[in-house]
Structure 1
Amino acid sequence: MEDFHVVVAIDFGTVDSGFAFAHKESPEKSETYNACDSLGAKALVEFQEDAESSDDDDNNQLSRPVELFKLHLLNLKDEDKPWLPPELDYKQAIKDYLTEMRKLVQERLSSRWSSIKFPNQVKIPPHTIRIMRECAYKAGLLNELNSNNLEFITEPEAAALHCLSVVKEHNLKPGDSFCVVDCGDGTVDITIHKLLEKNGLGEITERISYPCGSTFLDKEFLKFIGEKVGMHALSNFKKNHYKQIQYLVQEFFCRKIKFDFNGKQSEWKTIKLNLMKYCSSLQEYVTGDRTTEMENAEWIIKIDFTSVKEMFDPVVNKILELISDQLKASKENCSAMFLVGGFAESAYLLNKVKDSFRFQVKEICVPTLPITAVVRGGLHYGLNLNTVKTRVLKWTFGIEAAREWISGKDKKKRRSPDGLIYTFECLAKRGSQVDVNRPFSKIFNPVRANQKAVAFKIFYTPNVGGKFCDDPGMKYIKTLHINIPDIHLGRDRPINFELTFGQLECKASAYNNRTGKLYKEIYFDMEE
């Protein structure tokens, strides 16, 4: 690893992003910044100013901001992916985003330590690792694509590391388990961890990630408006006047409802929404009976308690379902639950979680600074890389193995032209709790006595079992090619093949089992 002096943690969020940094010689003096991307939040502020001045010259796609592009990293259906202009690839959007982030980080570091050379002396621990590494390199965060100065950690693990700073307040001790519910803007990530000796962290359940963050509340709010003015009218209005839609969501829904609603009917007062104040051009798109109804109401919509609750419940109930699934998956009692992320500040969400799980989890709370939990945890990880001790595999890993086809035992269609059958040889099963950097290995011999090379084709699957590499759900990762020139030994040339699981990257290695000499090793992303 290159010599570094400063650790910078970047939380690449769906809506907002942040970063924190600290000098490794004085890690307690860390600094944290909420770094909303200039392509996002800044643009929306400008849109609000335009909307307030009733500027309607926004009825084309060129004036629409690029938002939520991080969700393109998820395995979503095309119709569920956020809009992007045809000429913009999501990787380019991420690269541009990180370029702006790099400029801001560099500015802050230079003002703090003028002698620090960026990125040479800076270590950056920021879904798909390969894509993020490539984008970070193109954005100028790295000097080399495969630089060791870039580390990855999952958001749930980073959030859990931040929660380690508050476990003493809740009387947690080594051996106790705690659940972290990271409620972001786009996704909600849930894991259960065990507190180990010396503030070590162990993952004991397979992490769950689902797109049901706070931005989905915005969609429910717009759905409510669409039911009043007509969904077709709202869709056309949004297409042609995106500034006004964003102004409505940000200035009205977020400020007056989203973070104030606590689910207590006695404390809620019906709110009147004057659509002409926020969406002056909307009436042009409303037709038929809807026009008469809205004109009679003077374009004012009353939002009562039931309406708001119906906006929240589809999103909140999905989060409750995810939490329930995680608690059921854990074989250990959960001593505490921490809600972090921007949506964790929702009083309604916290109250619902407490009501639903108060008999299963003793302590349920929102720690200090929940919004910056991920970036602060990332900083902690960058300064203490050995903190995370165990992980739970999300996939079953193995290789394609060949052996002689056996008549009467194997299916005829599986027989290759050279008389072999190719099967899936499992090395590590999904759901296994593994020590970080612990190798899983098996001994293999060449199939033919005169074989001079071996190809280890690596596959993964969400299934715990698998017989063949063309089974449903099976996906190819990479191939490790090695040369084995000692053909005078025939098939008596044992090869030790290993898979070693790091934090988020995996190493495949092949050794000469006679001499212990390494043939070759390659790396791949566990999150691909």
Structure 2
Amino acid sequence: MAASRQATTVHDTSTHPTSNKIIVVAIDVGTAYSGYAFSYRSRPQEVIVNNWKSHANDGFSHKAPSSILLNETYNFVAFGYEAEEEFSKIVQNRNKDKFFFVKDFKTQLANDQGLERHLLVQDILKRFVPAHGLFMESIRFLRKHFLETLNKKGFEYEEDDIHYILTIPAIWSDVAKQIMRDSACMAGIKPNNLELAFEPEVAALHCRSIPSENLSGSTKRLEEMFKPGIKFAVLDLGGGTADMTIEQNTLDGKLKHVHKATGGLWGGNKVNQAFLKFISEVISGDILESFVKENLTDFFFLNGQFETKKRSIGKYTTEEIVIQLPASLLEIFMEKTSKTLAQTVKGSIYNKDIDVQRGRLAISAEKFRSFFTRTIQGIVNHVKMILNKPECKDVRYILMVGGFSESPLVEDEMRSNFPDKKIINPVDAGLSVLKGAVLYGFNTETVTARASPLTYGISLYDSFNEKKHDFSKTVTVGDERIVLGCFEKFFTINELVEVGTKRSISVYESYEGKSDAMRMMSKEIEIFSSHEENPKYVTEESCSRHGRIIVSPPNGRWPDKVRGKIEFEFGGTELMVRYIDKATQYVVTGSVDFHQGDNQFDLLRSSVQKQ
């Protein structure tokens, strides 16, 4: 295909309409906890968050553990608290080898390198399970539970009356987004009824909706933070990731990004892992592993206690943190070592940090805080790095949301490390994402512009010019020497792009004299990305194959001359790429494949000719 660049940029906000659905439901499949919330168009501000019966404290919680139980053929058995209870019974009956129990699987999608279509994750017994099925079944369960809730309320509806919002971290790659979208569609949600939403963005929308009469003290600063022109950071601290965006209020009361979303694996689960690592050092890894395999209910009880204590300790706490040790753990330790845990601790290097009395583990406040150290340091260092960038130096507010932000220690450390910033941690910070996602579903135009996370483009080939081209990038085709892999850029990393912006390149190819087989073949157009602003060739180290759009011939057969354009649209939560045939207005869209690990790559066939 030959190609020529079009300089025009089109802004089309009609591609992001305000939802006209009767109901909006937000589904959050979190690393540690999951749930859903919804509201009706007649009263959108009255967001209903589902309550889950909790076995940990014999009460209710707004979210259920992201735990899923499958049978030996990978078919769904249970989710959340029910999955934990069922698997505990299975372990007691010694049938655990016939079931898979998986937790914390969402973290796998935070890895933007090497994500594959057939991604595998490990269950609690270190066996591999297909990730796609876990996401699909989790979404299917939450959707089914929501629909049953509507039925119980006597609400009559059609499937197309419902707008589904699926929340995702803003730092996720396009591959991760595609995995979630595909999973949601396989779970029964129609593609046209589904939209992905970035968690930090929607959390900010929820905080903006809090009535002023419900604000007091430091939270009163929310009113100041949402004034036109003010820049603020949103720090979404969940179970798996710390997600950060820099927002600015527009004059018309909307939001726009100032810097691309950033973050890392500094979620609350890292603190849990540090605690279990310490327990493993004290009692030995083998004993802990035996305890988990044989007494899963008690292991959940231990984890539940730690979760509760984790939310109580602050920077200036001096009292010991006391956790009740399960009797089964003490018994296994005695069987394996012929000593009591209390005796062992007294004669160990840990006796200054912990004490065991009457089955209770007392941990010094200093030692307990150490479980947070690496995670908090990672968060603080990252926030400092971003706020030091030129476009972020005038950020005055940091809005903390997400379940991990409810930790007093995390909040204390943020205030200590950023004394010149106004730290805001609103009530119900852990529900800000769910509630905000519902509001976003009724008006998706509340975010006017987003920063491009990468530089995007396609590969062109051109006649070799020794003054501007690298000879090593050339090949000989017939009598002509051409240079391959010239990076034709559409969007630049960290460029602020208005929602609905479209940029295109004209393409041309002749099929005269070509066989019928060639005329009926689909055309694959490769999409490339880079972490650099101005890559020259798609083969540079900073560049990678990002995806491809598969274009089938119009009416099953390419004509003698093909004239069309490749159109990129960015600004929403998902990158859209289209091919538009100029003669027939035939459009191929929505079929971008971001999985690149399972197809062959030919740079010559994947490039279009520069004119």
- TM bucket (normalised to shorter chain) is 0.7 to 0.9
Classify 1:404/1:86 alpha carbon distance in 2 versus 1 (closer, same or farther; 3 Å).
same
After superposition, where does 1:208-219 map in structure 2 within 5 Å? 208-219=262-273
1:72 is displaced (CA, Å) by 2.5
8 Å Cα contact 2:321/2:368 also seen in 1: no
Q: CA offsets per residue over residues 270-306 of structure 1, 9 Å max, x none? A: 5365463765434334589989625876676431122
Return the letter of the residue paired with 1:337.
I
Q: CA offsets per residue over residues 460-493 of structure 1, 9 Å max, x none? A: 2233332333333412411354788465xxxxx9
Cα distance in 1 for residues equivalent to 2:282 and 2:107: 29
More strand, by proportion: 2
Indicate which of 475, 480, 497 corresponds to 2:545. 475
Q: CA offsets per residue over residues 407-458 of structure 1, 9 Å max, x none? A: 5744155214343222221111111111011112345565999999976422
Cα distance in 2 for residues equivalent to 1:454 and 1:135: 26
Classify 1:169/1:396 alpha carbon distance in 2 versus 1 (closer, same or farther; 3 Å).
same
1:318 aligns with 2:378: yes
Cα distance in 2 for residues equivalent to 1:527 and 1:391: 20
Q: Which residue of 1 aligns with 2:189?
A: 141
After superposition, where does 1:258-269 map in structure 2 within 5 Å? 258-266=310-318, 268-269=319-320
Deviates more, 1:196-205 or 1:133-142: 133-142
1:81 is displaced (CA, Å) by 5.8
8 Å Cα contact 1:206/1:431 also seen in 2: yes
1:207 is displaced (CA, Å) by 1.0
1:163 is displaced (CA, Å) by 2.5
1:503 aligns with 2:561: no
1:71 aligns with 2:107: yes
Q: Which residue of 1 aligns with 2:531?
A: 462
Q: CA offsets per residue over residues 121-154 of structure 1, 9 Å max, x none? A: 1110114232222222222233xxxx31101111
Q: Secondary structure at the match of 1:203?
A: strand
Q: Which residue of 2 aligns with 1:522?
A: 589
Classify 1:245/1:525 alpha carbon distance in 2 versus 1 (closer, same or farther; 3 Å).
farther
After superposition, where does 1:117-136 map in structure 2 within 5 Å? 117=158, 119-126=159-166, 127=172, 128-136=176-184
1:162 is displaced (CA, Å) by 1.6
Classify 1:454/1:310 alpha carbon distance in 2 versus 1 (closer, same or farther; 3 Å).
closer
1:350 is displaced (CA, Å) by 0.6
1:420 aligns with 2:482: yes
Cα distance in 2 for residues equivalent to 1:447 and 1:457: 19
8 Å Cα contact 1:161/1:377 also seen in 2: yes
1:152 aligns with 2:196: yes
Indicate which of 134, 143, 153 corresponds to 1:112. 153
Q: Secondary structure at the match of 1:474?
A: strand
Cα distance in 2 for residues equivalent to 1:190 and 1:437: 23
Return the letter of the residue paired with 1:83.
D
Cα distance in 1 for residues equivalent to 2:225 and 2:128: 54
Indicate which of 269, 291, 301 corresponds to 1:237. 291
Cα distance in 2 for residues equivalent to 1:152 and 1:221: 34
Return the letter of the residue paired with 2:187.
A
Deviates more, 1:160-169 or 1:119-128: 160-169
Q: Which residue of 1 aligns with 2:224?
A: 170
1:517 is displaced (CA, Å) by 6.8
Return the letter of the residue paired with 2:41.
K
8 Å Cα contact 1:40/1:65 also seen in 2: no
Classify 1:89/1:64 alpha carbon distance in 2 versus 1 (closer, same or farther; 3 Å).
closer
Classify 1:308/1:291 alpha carbon distance in 2 versus 1 (closer, same or farther; 3 Å).
closer
Deviates more, 1:496-505 or 1:285-294: 285-294
Q: Which residue of 1 aligns with 2:135?
A: 94
Q: Which residue of 1 aligns with 2:437?
A: 378
Deviates more, 1:315-324 or 1:128-137: 128-137
Indicate which of 420, 431, 434 corresponds to 2:494. 431
Classify 1:281/1:455 alpha carbon distance in 2 versus 1 (closer, same or farther; 3 Å).
closer
1:108 is displaced (CA, Å) by 1.6
8 Å Cα contact 2:549/2:577 also seen in 1: no
Q: CA offsets per residue over residues 320-347 of structure 1, 9 Å max, x none? A: 1222222123614113211111111111
Provide the alpha-carbon RMSD of the alignment.
Answer: 3.6
Cα distance in 1 for residues equivalent to 2:372 and 2:444: 38
Return the letter of the residue paired with 2:134.
A
**Count of residues in Structure 1 that have an aligned counterpart in Structure 2:** 507
Q: Which residue of 1 aligns with 2:306?
A: 253
Cα distance in 2 for residues equivalent to 1:206 and 1:463: 14
Q: Which residue of 2 aligns with 1:490?
A: none
8 Å Cα contact 1:480/1:508 also seen in 2: no
Q: Which residue of 2 aligns with 1:283?
A: 334
Cα distance in 2 for residues equivalent to 1:466 and 1:448: 32
1:36 aligns with 2:64: yes
Q: Which residue of 1 aligns with 2:455?
A: 396
Q: Secondary structure at the match of 2:165?
A: coil
Cα distance in 2 for residues equivalent to 1:412 and 1:229: 59
8 Å Cα contact 2:236/2:244 also seen in 1: yes
Classify 1:343/1:400 alpha carbon distance in 2 versus 1 (closer, same or farther; 3 Å).
same
Q: Which residue of 1 aligns with 2:71?
A: none
Q: Secondary structure at the match of 2:142?
A: helix
Higher relative contact order (CA 8 A, sep 6+): 2
Q: Which residue of 2 aligns with 1:293?
A: 344
Cα distance in 2 for residues equivalent to 1:110 and 1:314: 46
Return the letter of the residue paired with 1:93.
L
8 Å Cα contact 1:192/1:204 also seen in 2: yes
Classify 1:391/1:77 alpha carbon distance in 2 versus 1 (closer, same or farther; 3 Å).
closer
Classify 1:225/1:168 alpha carbon distance in 2 versus 1 (closer, same or farther; 3 Å).
closer
Cα distance in 1 for residues equivalent to 2:429 and 2:592: 29
1:30 is displaced (CA, Å) by 2.6
After TM superposition, the score normalised by the length of structure 2 is: 0.74
Q: Secondary structure at the match of 2:529?
A: strand
Q: Secondary structure at the match of 1:471?
A: coil
Cα distance in 2 for residues equivalent to 1:295 and 1:243: 28
Classify 1:46/1:511 alpha carbon distance in 2 versus 1 (closer, same or farther; 3 Å).
closer
Q: Secondary structure at the match of 1:205?
A: strand
Cα distance in 2 for residues equivalent to 1:193 and 1:153: 15
1:197 aligns with 2:251: yes
Deviates more, 1:455-464 or 1:442-451: 442-451
Deviates more, 1:332-341 or 1:390-399: 332-341
Q: Which residue of 1 aligns with 2:54?
A: none
Cα distance in 2 for residues equivalent to 1:196 and 1:307: 45
Classify 1:385/1:277 alpha carbon distance in 2 versus 1 (closer, same or farther; 3 Å).
same
Q: Secondary structure at the match of 1:204?
A: strand
1:45 is displaced (CA, Å) by 5.2
Q: Secondary structure at the match of 1:99?
A: helix
Return the letter of the residue paired with 1:281.
I
Cα distance in 1 for residues equivalent to 2:112 and 2:493: 22
Cα distance in 2 for residues equivalent to 1:526 and 1:337: 36
Cα distance in 2 for residues equivalent to 1:60 and 1:496: 56
Q: Secondary structure at the match of 2:388?
A: helix
8 Å Cα contact 1:230/1:286 also seen in 2: no
Q: Secondary structure at the match of 1:397?
A: strand
Return the letter of the residue paired with 2:80.
G
Classify 1:527/1:376 alpha carbon distance in 2 versus 1 (closer, same or farther; 3 Å).
farther
Classify 1:281/1:59 alpha carbon distance in 2 versus 1 (closer, same or farther; 3 Å).
farther
Q: Secondary structure at the match of 1:281?
A: helix
Classify 1:271/1:4 alpha carbon distance in 2 versus 1 (closer, same or farther; 3 Å).
closer
